[in-house]
Structure 1
């Protein structure tokens, strides 16, 4: 089956090496004949050569003058996107064999499904799978074996993690963008999934799709104490907004 265009939005801040690896993996493991795609990079106030590299690679990108945070960067990219499907993808993630085709199969298996996400080696909640592997090359070999399309492995969920989140444009047009009160990041994906479900759409974890994730590469730059303080602050924001504990949905 051939799908319509998917827009892959990749926010990146001072992560050119990760971004280059991420984009290379998408190009290697995504068949444009079956799953046409565009890549949109949001250079979130980087001090490295991200913008110059994107220009050299002829990648559509938007350059923010200062680091605006993950939710704002994603929203900038989503507003540039032209695809019928929209995919938020972290720069420290890597595409794997048949990744996008499998995710699209699940997303379009029913009109009531609003968003889907893969399983990964580094992710919170039920999307995490414990794997023993020695580097990205071995991970790709594992993914080659695991990423066999299987609707029996599409699992209903209350929440998906935003490191690799695929949703329909029709959903985006109803839900809107990420809530920027959660900038620079954490719990904006919990909030977005909650809003999707409030409109009656379902979420699916695709256990037939394994995607690599290095994990918290940008947030680690600020140190562990700062990251934990941010998590606590944004959890409190979620509680205040919804009068609900996000842990209920994990």
Structure 2
């Protein structure tokens, strides 16, 4: 069985991470490699790093604020596992999340990228419908796929457009990114009190996405 690494950005301190980490461990059904990438005010980063040490979690402490994509890239480079899951800290995995991701990763040359969507399954029925790529909760990849596609684009700050951009790039590199079937994540309680300005980040990223591709990108899907 291939080992799995889970990379979590830590922008809001242990309050957000604790709920997510507990759910990852409880519902994974196997040992996973956990990596937290802490960013933000120095006091909060120090608090997160200390919590990670006590919890037995690898931590990358970054001074100042970095974007979501950049934080994930740091974690990807550190990860030793063959399968890598990038999960936004504001989401809590539900039972079956890891087997569901592994199934969506698929087999063969076109398998290797899966989207952890937060939309109801009936919105896409397990197909490659555009809306399924806009869930924003997470994405999973095999290492060989990541090496071919490359790192996440650091210009993006929100999960919505970071993952949509990566899904598009994976398709252009010969992969078939698959949305995970079913609802396998939910919003964490702590996410409603966080400090990230998700609306402004999403608006910024939408413009950056349009400028980068300058086409109806989802037509490729």
Q: Normalising TM by the smaller chain, what interval?
A: 0.7 to 0.9
Q: CA deviation at 1:156?
A: 2.8
Greater alpha carbon shift after TM alignment, 96-105 vs 201-210: 201-210
Moved over 6 A (4+): none
Aligned to 1:170: 144
Aligned to 2:212: 241
1:14-65 deviation per Cα after TM superposition (whole angstroms, max 9, x unaligned): 2311200110111111112xxx420100011253321100011121110001
**Aligned ranges for residues 215-230 of structure 1 at < 5 Å?**
217=191, 221=195, 227-230=198-201
Structure 1 contact 114–201 (Cα < 8 Å) conserved? yes
Aligned to 1:196: 170
Name the TM-score, length of structure 2 as normaliser: 0.84
Larger radius of gyration: 1
Other structure's SS at 1:173 match: helix
Aligned to 1:7: 5
Structure 1 contact 42–64 (Cα < 8 Å) conserved? yes
Task: List gaps (5 residues or longer) in structure 1.
Answer: 121-126, 131-152
Going from structure 1 to structure 2, the CA distance change for 1:170 and 1:107 (only over 3 Å counts) comes to same
Structure 1 contact 13–218 (Cα < 8 Å) conserved? no
Name the TM-score, length of structure 1 as normaliser: 0.75
1:158-207 deviation per Cα after TM superposition (whole angstroms, max 9, x unaligned): 53544221111111001111111224665222211111000111121222
Task: List gaps (5 residues or longer) in structure 2.
Answer: none
Structure 2 contact 111–176 (Cα < 8 Å) conserved? yes
Structure 2 contact 91–188 (Cα < 8 Å) conserved? yes
Going from structure 1 to structure 2, the CA distance change for 1:230 and 1:119 (only over 3 Å counts) comes to closer
Other structure's SS at 1:182 match: coil
Aligned to 2:155: 181
Aligned-residue Cα RMSD (Å) equals 2.8
Greater alpha carbon shift after TM alignment, 166-175 vs 178-187: 178-187
Other structure's SS at 2:180 match: strand
* Aligned mates of 1:109, 1:115 — CA distance in 2: 10
